[in-house]
Amino acid sequence: MVIIMLGAPGTGKGTVAGLLQERLGIKQVSTGDIFRKNIKEGTELGTLAEKYISKGNLVPDEVTIKIIEDRLNEPDLEKGVILDGFPRTVKQAEELDKILQLKGKKVDKVISLTTPDEEIIERIVNRRVCSNQDCKAVYNIVLNPPKKDGICDKCGAELIVRKDDTEETVRARLSNYFEQTAPLVDYYEKQGNLLTEVVSKSINKLGKDVAEEIVEILK
For ligand AMP, give the closer residue by CB, 101 or 175. Answer: 175
Q: Is 173 in the site for ligand AMP (CB under 6 A)?
A: yes
- 59: buried, middle or exposed (CB in 10 Å: 19+, 13-18, 0-12)? buried
Region binding ligand AMP by CB under 6 A among candidate stretches 29-37, 73-81, 136-144, 188-196:
29-37
CA-to-CA separations, 156 to 1, 6, 87, in angstroms, rounded: 32, 30, 32
Cα–Cα–Cα angle for 72, 26, 65, rounded to 5 degrees: 25
Least Å distance between CB 39 and ligand AMP? Answer: 10
Give Cα 158 distance to the centre of its chain: 21
Q: Report the SS3 class of residue 84.
A: strand
The span from the CA of 165 to the CA of 23, in Å, is: 28
Told to check if 10 binds ligand AMP by CB under 6 A, we report no
Q: Is 53 in the site for ligand AMP (CB under 6 A)?
A: yes
Work out whether 188 is an interface residue with ligand AMP (CB under 6 A).
no
Contacts with ligand AMP: how many residues (CB under 6 A)? Answer: 19
The region of 82-90, 109-117, 141-149, 192-200 touching ligand AMP under the rule CB under 6 A is 82-90
Q: Which residues bind ligand AMP (CB under 6 A)?
A: 9, 30-32, 35, 52-53, 56-59, 64, 85-88, 92, 164, 173
